[in-house]
């Protein structure tokens, strides 16, 4: 599937995207963050700030400067990853605005026996919103209202936000144009992610602004492609385990042969997420039990 990797971050400078919507990119580029985390300023006279990013003093300073005296009504947080939520507390200390949005960090399921959570260091466990938002909840900030859309999958607590009365969704890490989302157990869940993808397809909005990289126009076509991409991968995994037992490493070597081996660890987690879902749906069998180092075969 085709991704759009064209993006100019303009660190420190807000970029106007639509009336009442600006983007400010934090300077935390990396293999999983692309050019850095996008912070969004919603509204004009009174603002909502989505995802202040990591606790980078320069970036928080740039957000305050972009607000230019306008009152920050609330700080929205989409999910509890270190590149999205810790800056919320720094901005709260600086402005007095309260933090709302996703709930505290939680995994999609309990740890398995002897399982070490490979994503532990990316989780922000200090996030505690003054108001947790649930599906369909609205927050009104005078000249803009946002609606929370529960979209678990990348994390269990992930929220997207629609700007009501517009065609726009702030899609955070659920739908990104530059790359597919990381869906890795136990914090993430492929079953939840696929359901959250279907949820986006039922919504009317067609323009998305993600947590990393540029905007997505014709978002519904793109989301349909994302869905097809995951279904194709699922089919390839089932094919790989149809001839006999396979370990995740063996599956990755086969399916990701053309991918840089340094990314094989991330690929293993993605394959694990698919297998967990397939075992759950009784389409695959884990031997002896579900685990990253178990062996898998197709049922029937």
User: In angstroms, what is the minimal distance from the CB of 81 to Zn ion?
Assistant: 4
3-state DSSP call for residue 198?
Answer: helix
Taking CB positions, which residue lies at the least distance from Zn ion?
81
Candidates 6-14, 55-63, 77-85, 232-240 — which segment interacts with Zn ion by CB under 5 A? 77-85
Per CB under 5 A, 173 contacts Zn ion:
yes
Choose which of 81, 89, 127, 246 interacts with Zn ion (CB under 5 A).
81
The strand order across the sheet containing 159-163 reads 138-140, 145-150, 159-163, 168-172, 207-210
Cβ nearer to Zn ion, comparing 38 with 215: 38
If you write DSSP's letter for every residue of 77-108 in order, what string do you get? E---BTTTSHHHHHHHHHH-PEEEES-S---S
Contact letters for Zn ion, residues 220-259 (x by CB under 5 A): ----------------------------------------
Per CB under 5 A, 124 contacts Zn ion:
no
Cβ nearer to Zn ion, comparing 173 with 192: 173
Q: How many residues bind Zn ion (CB under 5 A)?
A: 2
- How many Å from the N-terminal Cα to the C-terminal Cα in the chain? 31
Which pairs count as long-range contacts for 93-99, CB under 8 Å and 24+ apart, including other chains?
A: 94/60, 94/64, 95/64, 95/67, 97/49, 97/72, 97/73, 98/74, 98/130, 98/131, 99/74, 99/75, 99/127, 99/128, 99/129, 99/130
60 closest CA partner among 85, 29, 26: 26
Cβ nearer to Zn ion, comparing 67 with 184: 184
Cβ nearer to Zn ion, comparing 81 with 105: 81
User: In angstroms, what is the minimal distance from the CB of 65 to Zn ion?
Assistant: 26
Candidates 93-101, 102-110, 169-177, 283-291 — which segment interacts with Zn ion by CB under 5 A? 169-177
User: In angstroms, what is the minimal distance from the CB of 200 to Zn ion?
Assistant: 17
- Contact partners, residue 196, CB within 8 Å, separation at least 6: 150, 151, 152, 153, 158, 174
User: In angstroms, what is the minimal distance from the CB of 273 to Zn ion?
Assistant: 14
Contact 34, 213 (CB under 8 A): yes
Per CB under 5 A, 127 contacts Zn ion:
no
- Residues contributing to the site for Zn ion (CB under 5 A): 81, 173
């Amino acid at each position: 599937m085709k991704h759009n990797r064209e993006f100019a971050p303009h660190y420190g400078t807000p970029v106007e995207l639509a009336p009442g919507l600006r983007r400010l990119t934090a300077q935390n580029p990396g293999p999983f963050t692309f050019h850095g985390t996008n912070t969004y300023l919603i509204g004009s006279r009174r603002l909502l700030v989505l995802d202040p990013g990591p606790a980078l003093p320069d970036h928080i300073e740039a957000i305050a400067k972009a607000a230019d005296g306008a009152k920050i009504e609330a700080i929205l947080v989409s999910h509890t990853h270190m590149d999205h939520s810790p800056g919320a507390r720094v901005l709260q200390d600086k402005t007095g605005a309260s933090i709302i949005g996703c709930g505290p960090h939680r995994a999609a399921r309990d740890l398995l026996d002897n399982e070490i959570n490979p994503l532990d260091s990316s989780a922000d466990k200090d996030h505690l919103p003054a108001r947790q938002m649930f599906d369909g909840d609205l927050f009104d900030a005078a000249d803009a209202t946002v609606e929370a859309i529960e979209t678990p999958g990348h994390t269990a607590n992930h929220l997207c936000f629609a700007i009501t009365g517009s065609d726009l969704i702030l899609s955070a890490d659920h739908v990104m144009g530059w790359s597919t989302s990381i869906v890795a157990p136990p914090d993430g869940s492929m079953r939840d992610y696929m359901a959250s993808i279907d949820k986006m397809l039922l919504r009317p909005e067609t323009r998305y602004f993600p947590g990393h990289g540029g905007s997505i126009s014709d978002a519904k076509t793109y989301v349909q492609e994302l869905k097809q991409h995951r279904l194709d991968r699922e089919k390839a995994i089932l094919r790989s385990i149809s001839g006999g037992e396979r370990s995740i490493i063996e599956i990755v070597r086969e399916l990701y042969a053309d991918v840089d081996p340094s990314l094989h660890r991330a690929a293993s987690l993605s394959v694990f997420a698919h297998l967990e879902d397939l075992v759950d749906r009784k389409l695959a069998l884990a031997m002896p039990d579900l685990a990253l180092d178990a062996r898998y075969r197709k049922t029937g």
